[in-house]
Amino acid sequence: TTTVQFIQAWTQGADGQGATKARELFQKVFGEDPQGVWSAPGRVNLIGEHTDYNAGLCLPIALPNRTYVAASPRTDSRVRLVSSMDPENPVQADLDGLQARGVSGWAAYPVGVAWALQRDGFPQVRGFDLALASCVPVGSGLSSSAAMTCAVALALDDLFGLGLGGDEAGRVRLIQAAITAENDMAGASTGGMDQSAAMRCRSGCALRLDCRPELDAMSNVQQVPFDLQAAGLELLVVDTRAQHQLNDGQYDQRRATCEQAAHLLGVANLRQAADRVNAAADPPSALAALLEQLPDETMRRRVRHVVSEIGRVDRFIEAFGRGDYVLAGRLFNASHDSLRDDYEVTCPELDEAVDAARQGGAYGARMTGGGFGGSIIALADAGKGSDLARDIAGRFASKGFKAPRALIALPSSAAARES
């Protein structure tokens, strides 16, 4: 029988596994104790995919898997960094005179956060020494990049006394710095859901994130209780380990098509179109009428995904809230099918994994994250997750795919200081 590797989450707290690993790496490389340790979680999005950059709705939870950052401030502008992924090769950068895209490789993410904060009106941010250790799978669509940038942002907030981490409005500024780091220094387009999840999720809850730009920090999120244990359910996450390449232009193409469509429809963003459709007396015919205004079939399918997906987020919240897990699962399925057929961001591994989970008795399953590889989630009865993971691994073996990895997700907490 096929065995599946389950990814363990490290324990939190000052003496937990995560803080200990980051602190020990810092001591080994920099020869002294760090001033503190901070962490931020990876995430899975329950539903609402490719909607954040359309001013839409999404619903992430924070994972128990986190990135831990041990750091100390410097008085000069140098940045020295080391990651547990490559512990023998610390890297350096300088914040003075730094331009967009001025740092390459993974160092662009942490350096970019400091650079973004300086430009956002915090000249007191100086250089720093930093060691990071992570149990978030990297490049698996579980947002190791935002876990890293948000842990760094919170560390810099404390080290340089910015006073942003303690309230929601301050956290929104840290989120913005994390987004800028990723977009402008690392050159990886990101819509903002991942950073909001890492900074604002609460344990036991999903984060209903409303991405309309006109909303302020108080009104753009809602904590939605998501108590899987009380519901007798399990959320299985399977990393397909298929190539995850958002940088090859597909993501940017989808964004550009959505912007073009909004322009043609005479709306600021597709959310405005979605709200009209979903509030209509007969949403399916309102959607059909909307799509008729668009010039080509591909664009019509992209818009159909975005509009229908935005509508599914509140339907999922409503269904889960009243214990209708069959409907909640069907909404997962509809989301995946739309991402596969209309938005065309799945791949054979994602489709096979989702199919195997459905056949194995999950209420529903879907890809999560940007797509083109990465991970799937499946909603199942408690205790069924590991059987489903084995089913998926068996299917992958017979198809000649790489062996997948799995974890059971519980909604966890946002970025925090560990010690």
Burial of 320 (0-12, 13-18, 19+ CB in 10 A): buried
Return d(Cα 197, Cα 5) in angstroms, integer: 26
Contact present, 376 and 357 (Cβ < 8 Å): yes
Q: Which of 184, 194, 239, 391 is catalytic?
A: 194
The nearer residue to Mg ion, 83 or 145, going by C-beta atoms, is 145
Per-residue exposure over 217-232, b if at least 16 CB sit within 10 Å of its own CB, e if not: eeebbeebebebeebe
Closer residue to Mg ion (CB): 360 or 374: 374
Q: Would you say 36 or 42 has its CB closer to Mg ion?
A: 42
Q: Which of 20, 67, 140, 145 binds Mg ion (CB under 5 A)?
A: 145
- For position 195 contacting Mg ion by CB under 5 A, the verdict is no
Determine the straight-line distance between the first and last CA of the chain, rounded to whole angstroms. 43
# chain residues binding Mg ion, by CB under 5 A:
2
Q: What residues contact residue 150 under an 8 Å CB cut-off, 6+ apart?
A: 40, 174, 175, 178, 195, 198, 199, 415
Residue 83 contacts which entry, Mg ion, ligand ADP, none (Cβ below 5-8 A, type-dependent): ligand ADP
- In this structure, the strands spanning 364-368 and 416-417 are unpaired
Q: Which is nearer to ligand ADP, 143 or 308 (CB)?
A: 143
Contact assessment for residue 83 and residue 152, using Cβ atoms and an 8 Å cutoff: no
Size of the chain, expressed as the number of residues it contains = 419
Q: Catalytic annotation on 391? A: no
**Nearest-approach distance from CB 24 to ligand ADP, in angstroms:** 15
Q: Which does 71 bind (CB under 5 to 8 A by kind): ligand ADP, Mg ion, none?
A: none
Q: How far is the CB of 194 from Mg ion (least distance, A)?
A: 6
Residue 139 site contact among ligand ADP, Mg ion, none (CB < 5 to 8 Å, cut-off depends on kind): ligand ADP
Residue with Cβ nearer Mg ion (179 or 379): 179
Please report, as ranges, the residues that interact with ligand ADP according to CB under 6 A: 67, 83, 85, 106, 109, 132, 134, 138-145, 148, 188, 369
Active site (catalytic) residues = 194
State the residues that interact with Mg ion by CB under 5 A: 143, 145
